[in-house]
Structure 1
Amino acid sequence: MRKIIKTGLPEGSAPVEWATVGGRTLYTASIPIYEDGSLETGSIEEQTRLTLANLQKIVEAAGGTLDDVTQVQVILTEKRYFEGMNEVYREFFKAPFPNRATIVADLMVPGAKIEIIANAWLEG
């Protein structure tokens, strides 16, 4: 059964939740959005930092930490953002790192340069 995690992030009009848990696995996606619903439109470093801060908030709301994240999928709108994203990513994740894939694609949120999809294993 799917359990919804309340994150404090704004609810949108799309039929989607910020985070769900099935069994002991957390499923989530994060974008560079503030609690008031506004989007960070600055550099890739600023957007990555907010996106990862949101991910951390989501994982903690589910009872875990970033050390519980097992897989990350990073979606960037341009390949040139890879190094800036990686620089900030290292501020949030330490070795041993989660499994990760990075994809370049268009995003549905205008102005967003990054979206992160993550899974985490939650203890008990």
Structure 2
Amino acid sequence: MKEVVYTRAAPEPIGPYSQAVKVGNMLFISGQIPIDPKTGGVVSGGIKEQTRQVLENIRAILEAAGYSLSDVVMAFVFLSDMSLFGQFNEVYSEYFKERPPARVTVQAARLPRDVLIEIAVIAAR
């Protein structure tokens, strides 16, 4: 059975998609960009600030579904420029210290709202 997950602690979807969908023990979180859920605007700053906001948005969705960052098994990362990879990794590693999930990181030609990063994840329990 498919269950849609929604929380006001993460940004409203900007299109026809759910923040996350739970199927069995799996949680599929849609791509999150660095939008502050309180203001609806893109956070100011560079890749570190944007990465932190994206991961906080993901954490909020995970928690709304009863999961945590430790349940993330796969991450799909889209960067506007691979030259940002090192700075992104610094922040990412703060959130996934032990037993990090599998990950794909690619450079995207353009991301929504011209942000620097978008991340989608899959979690399982």
Q: TM-score, normalised by structure 2?
A: 0.90
CA distance in 2, matches of 1:78, 1:25: 30
The 5 Å alignment of 1:51-90 reads 51-90=54-93
Quickly say closer, same or farther: Cα 1:76–1:108, change in 2 above 3 A.
closer
- TM-aligned CA deviation for residue 13 of structure 1: 4.7
- Residue type of the partner of 2:94? E
- In 1, Cα distance between equivalents of 2:61 and 2:12: 14
Match of 1:97 in 2: 100
Q: CA deviation at 1:118?
A: 0.2
CA contact (8 A) 1:40 1:50 kept: yes
Which runs of no fewer than 5 residues in structure 2 stay unpaired? none
- The alignment of Structure 1 onto Structure 2 pairs a total of residues equal to 122
Which residue does the alignment assign to 1:44? Answer: 47
Structure 2 letter corresponding to 1:62? A
1:117 and 1:107 map into 2 onto residues whose CA distance is 16
- What CA RMSD, in Å, does the superposition of the two structures yield over aligned residues? 1.3
Structure 2 counterpart of 1:2, one-letter code: K
Between 28-37 and 83-92, the greater mean CA deviation after superposition: 28-37
| Structure 1 portions without partners, runs of 5+ | none
Aligned equivalent of 2:26: 25
**Residue identity (%):** 38
Q: In 1, Cα distance between the equivalents of 2:4 and 2:67?
A: 15
Question: How far apart, CA to CA, are the structure 2 residues paired with 1:13 and 1:84?
Answer: 27
> Helix, strand or coil: the match of 2:87?
helix
Change (3 A) 1:90 1:13: closer
Q: Is the 8 A contact 1:39 1:111 kept in 2?
A: no
Change (3 A) 1:12 1:119: closer
Structure 1 stretches of 4+ moved >3 Å: none
For residue 106 of structure 1, report the CA deviation from its aligned partner. Answer: 2.7
TM-fit CA distance, 1:78: 0.2
